[in-house]
Structure 1
Amino acid sequence: MITAPAPVAAKSRSRGRKSTFDRDEALGIALDLFWRHGYEGVSIADLCQAIGIAPPSLYHAFGSKADLYRDVLRLYNAANISLEEVAAAPTAFAAVQAVLKRGVEAVTRPGLPVGCMISSGMLMVGIDNAGLAKELKALRGEMREALERRVVRDIESGILPRTTDPASLARFYVTVLQGLSVQAVDGATRSQLDAVVLDALRAWPA
C-alpha cells in the first residue's frame, strides 16, 4: 500500500513551524526581539525561531533583516506622537509638553521593554549597519525639526520672544526626550521621569 504524502500543515507542525503565516503577528514578535536586544543582537535564526518560519519564508515576507527592522520601526513609531500632532499643537510649549509626556509613557509601558527603540536605537553599530543607523538618526532628526518649526511659528506670532533660538530650544527638548529613554533603561520610574519633564518645562522661555 502506498502511503499518501502528509499534508503541508501537518509537516509544518511536526517541525515546530506555524501552519499559517500572520504578518502582523510576525511584526509584533520581531518588534519585541529588536526592542529587547537591539538590531545587532537579533539574528535571522532568532527571528525564525520566535516567529516559527523558515529563513526563506522570512526573506519572502520581508525582504531582508534590515527591511524587517524598518517595518518594525514604522509599527513602533505609529504608537508615538506624530509630526502632524506636533504641527497641530496650539502652541510650541503644548507640543513639547505632549512630546515629553508621551515620551515618558513610551519608555515605561508596563509589560513592555523599557527605553525607546528610536531614541536609543543603533547609536553605536558596526560598519555593516552604518546605513541603517543613519536612517534611524534621520528619524530622530525629524522630531527635532518638527519642534523647531513649531517654535518658529510662535516666535513669528509673538508668543515667544524674538530672542528665542528655535534650533537650540528644539535641540534642548529633544535631548531631554532622548535622555528619558536612557534613564528608563537604567531603572528610572515613571514618576521620576515625570519629575524630570516638569523641571525641563520650567526652562521654557518666558
Structure 2
Amino acid sequence: MTDTRAKRGRPRAFDRAEALTAATRLFWERGYEATSIGELTEAMGIRPGSLYAAFGDKKSLFKEAVHCYGRSPVGAFMGVALEEEPTARAAFTRILREAAVIYPDPAHPAGCLTISAATNVTLQDAEVEAFLRNLRNGNLGVFEARLRVAQQAGELSDAANPRALAAYFAAVIQGMSQRARDGATAAELTETAELALVAWPAARH
C-alpha cells in the first residue's frame, strides 16, 4: 500500500520554464495592465499560491517575462544583428528587415513586447512603465554607441549625427511594432524598412 501522507499538502509540481513562457506570451498579447492574475494562472496551469511562491508578485513575474522575451530569438534579434554584422549599415539593414518579418509573424503575438506591453498603465504601476522605458532607452544607447564607432571608422561622414540617427531608427522600429499590432503585413513593413534605410548618411570620403 502506498503511503500518501508525505504528499499531503505538497503543492503540485510544474515546469517553471513552460509556465514563464506562457506568462510571457500573455503579457505580450494583452499588455501588463490588461492581464489579470487569474488569467496568468490559467495560462500557466498553476494556482495563485504557486505563482507567488515561484515568481513573486505580478510585477516581478512581468519583469522576468520581459527578460525571458529578451533572450528569445524573437526578442534578441537586434542585439544579434549588431554583434554579428561587420558594419553598422549592414546591422541596421538586417534589424529593420528582420523586424518587418518578425513583428507580424502569426506564430506569436504581434509587435514587440518591450515596446507595447506597458500602454495605459495606472499610476500605481508606473514602475512597470519606467522599467520598459529604461530598456528601450538602453537599446537607444546601444544604437548610438554602434553608430559612433561607425563614424570613427569612416563608415559615416563627420557631418552625420549618431544620436539623431539612433533616435530615428528607434522611432521607425517602434512604429513598425505598432503597425504590426494594427494588422500591417510583412510586405508592408518591409516597404517601411526600405524607405527608412534611404536616410542612411554617406560615408566619409
Shorter-chain TM-score category? Answer: 0.7 to 0.9
* TM-score, normalised with respect to structure 2: 0.87
- The unaligned stretches of length 5 or more in structure 1 are 13-17
The yes-or-no answer on 1:34 pairing with 2:27 is: yes
**Cα separation, 1, equivalents of 2:6 and 2:50:** 18
* TM-score, normalised with respect to structure 1: 0.87
Look up the equivalent residue of 1:161 and give its one-letter code: S
State how 1:140-179 maps to structure 2 within 5 Å: 140-179=136-175
- In the alignment, what sits opposite 1:200? 196
Q: After the TM superposition, which parts of structure 1 deviate over 4 Å for at least 4 consecutive aligned residues?
A: 4-9
Q: Which has the larger radius of gyration?
A: 1
125-134 or 89-98: which moved more? 89-98
| Root-mean-square deviation over aligned CA pairs | 2.3
Of 33, 57, 63, the match for 2:56: 63
60-69 or 49-58: which moved more? 49-58
Q: What do residues 7-30 of structure 1 show as CA deviations (whole Å, max 9, x unaligned)?
A: 959x99xxxxx9431001101111
- The unaligned stretches of length 5 or more in structure 2 are none
Q: Secondary structure at the match of 2:164?
A: helix
Give the 3 Å change call, closer, same or farther, for CA 185–82 of structure 1 in structure 2: closer
Give the 3 Å change call, closer, same or farther, for CA 181–88 of structure 1 in structure 2: same
Give the 3 Å change call, closer, same or farther, for CA 6–46 of structure 1 in structure 2: farther
Q: Offset at 1:172? A: 0.3
Of 176, 179, 186, the match for 1:190: 186
Q: Secondary structure at the match of 1:100?
A: helix
**Cα separation, 1, equivalents of 2:5 and 2:105:** 44
Q: What is the count of residue pairs matched by the alignment?
A: 197
- In the alignment, what sits opposite 2:106? 110
